[in-house]
A and B are shown apart, each in its own frame.
Chain A
């Protein structure tokens, strides 16, 4: 079985400040890991993903995440927040192999203030 824990349901940062959204996972097999962003009344947009290879993954809109196996973490960061980053962010895990469904965390709402 696999699961995702996102620490902090709400995070507020000032524009220009560092964004750090935390994600820890549990998986019985090597995982694939994802971050998605969701704007109000819209579907999910992929920010970035880790499947294999380099553990530091760069995504769209200046976001990046690092897969740390020893810490079972996949935290999302952005050096400088922009007002347009305000949204809901979801971390997700899927198992390698044939079982490919995504299991999501409960989400973190990011607020960006002036």
Chain B
């Protein structure tokens, strides 16, 4: 098992453009989480999936943000009409339901909006 993979590692985009990030969880994990981390802060929860169902969304997740996990495997996070305030590290994690505390994080995607 190669752990949680995130792609790309870095993304620089112009304000107003759309971006999409991908997360591949550990294959046997049925839960997948997205977090956002800004400089000097702890990760903030955005959303999570159990299999293909999106079970919870944070109020931080504005209408410009959408996440999918179509087949219950990999997930994508799309940001439309990016703003400078979207610049952050986007972290993905996965876990297995019923395995308390078994979260594994990916290395993150660093987004810079210029």
- A contact set with B: CB distance below 8 Å: 4, 9, 32, 34, 36, 41-46, 49, 51-52, 90, 92, 94, 96, 100-107
Contact = CB atoms under 8 A, between A and B. Distances in A.
B33 A101 contact: yes
B69 interface: no
B91 A43 contact: yes
Nearest to B56: A101
Contacts, number: 58
Q: Top 5 closest A-B pairs, CB basis?
A: A104-B42, A43-B107, A44-B105, A49-B101, A43-B105
A92 B101 CA distance: 11
A106 B38 CA distance: 10
Interface residues of B, number: 25
B100 interface: yes
A6 to B, nearest CB: 8
A43 B108 contact: yes
B41 interface: yes
B110 A106 contact: no
